[in-house]
Amino acid sequence: MTETLMPGGGVARRPLHFIVMADCSGSMKGEKMQALNYALRSMLPHLVDWERDQLQAQLLIRILSFASAPQWYVADPVPVGQLSAHWRNLEYVPMGRSNMGPAFRAVGEALSPDRLERRALRPAILLVTDGLPTDPPGAFESGLASLLEMAAGRSALRLAVAIGRDANSEPLDRFRSPEVPVLVADGTDEIADRLVTASIAVSRMSEVGVNRGALAEQLNIADPARRSQPEVPTRQASQGGYFEDIL
């Protein structure tokens, strides 16, 4: 048996970064916060199972809690199995507001080219909130713009879960990927289901590639409450000559 020597520093699966933006404002106090923690805990095993069964990605997760200001709850990307095994509940911020702009900016910084591996797959971002953004005028827009300025932020699968119909607001439509509807949890008992749906979306990213239409169909199947017909963007050759780089 001839030994195999390989030049370089070794090989590994491509990282798939999954960032959860969790609303921990004062309005999340009580049952909502408990339900969110339960939902996040419930979502992780699905992701662990998916990671084990697929071939392409190593799923690395981070959690950003936000209220009046964003704060990294899990700052460094950790394997999803590790987080699942050492989960600690998020806590709400008394009197905290739902300022999303600075949170978007923080995520954008985390996805800047100098902080993201060159070989990383498209990231996924999941925003969970129970209300409208409370940013000062212009702050939501500038924060979102800073996230979308980043190539990785722009191309990320951006999912939004609204806790309560009222939370399904126009600002969330501006955040979410155009082809993926806002997932609405009418009550706290539905939060876990919506997050599982979100995890399915994340796990299907590498399977359907840029065929986000297929992804939207799958989400609608997984989330029968949603029957909207999302817009599926196409990037034509004549519009810049780019072609999606999928496997």
Partner 1 sequence: MTNLPAAAPPDQPRRTHSWLVLTASERGASHVASKAPNQDAVAAERAGAEGAVAAVADGHGHSRHLRSARGSRLAVKIGCQVAQELADRLGSADAIFAQPDAAGTPAATAEELTKLAEEFLVPAVVSRWRDAVLADVKAEPFTEAEQALRHAGDDAGIAYGSTLLLAMVLRGWLILAQIGDGDVVGVQADGRAIEPVPADPQLDGLVTTSLCGADPRSDFRVAAVDTTQHPLLAVLLATDGYGNAQVVDRWASAFSEDLAWMLKDRDVNWLASQLPSWAARCASSDGSADDTTVALLISAAKAGQRAGQDSDVGSEETTIPAVPHAGTVPVQVPAAPPSTEPVTMRQLAHRPAPEPVMLERSTPRRKTTPAGEQAVSHEPATTEIPKVRQGQAGDDRKRDSGHGGDLGGAGLGGAGLGGAGPGGAGPGGDEPPTTEWRPPGTGAR
Q: What is the contact surface with partner 1 in residues (CB under 8 A)?
A: 1-14, 55-56, 113, 117-120, 122, 151-152, 155, 206, 209-211, 234, 236-247
Minimum distance from CB of 234 to partner 1 (Å)? 6
Give 170 or 245: the residue with its C-beta nearer to partner 1: 245
Give 31 or 244: the residue with its C-beta nearer to partner 1: 244
102: alpha, beta or left? (left if phi > 0; alpha if psi -120 to 50): alpha
Give 78 or 208: the residue with its C-beta nearer to partner 1: 208
Minimum distance from CB of 208 to partner 1 (Å)? 9
CA 232 to chain centre: 19
- 159 contact partners, CB below 8 Å, separation of at least 6: 124, 125, 126, 127, 176, 177, 180, 183, 198, 201, 202
Give 88 or 234: the residue with its C-beta nearer to partner 1: 234
Give 54 or 169: the residue with its C-beta nearer to partner 1: 54
Minimum distance from CB of 186 to partner 1 (Å)? 35
Minimum distance from CB of 63 to partner 1 (Å)? 23
Minimum distance from CB of 120 to partner 1 (Å)? 7
Task: Report strand pairing: 70-79 vs 57-66.
Answer: antiparallel
Q: Give the residue among 8, 22, 169, 148 at the shortest CA–CA distance from 89.
A: 22
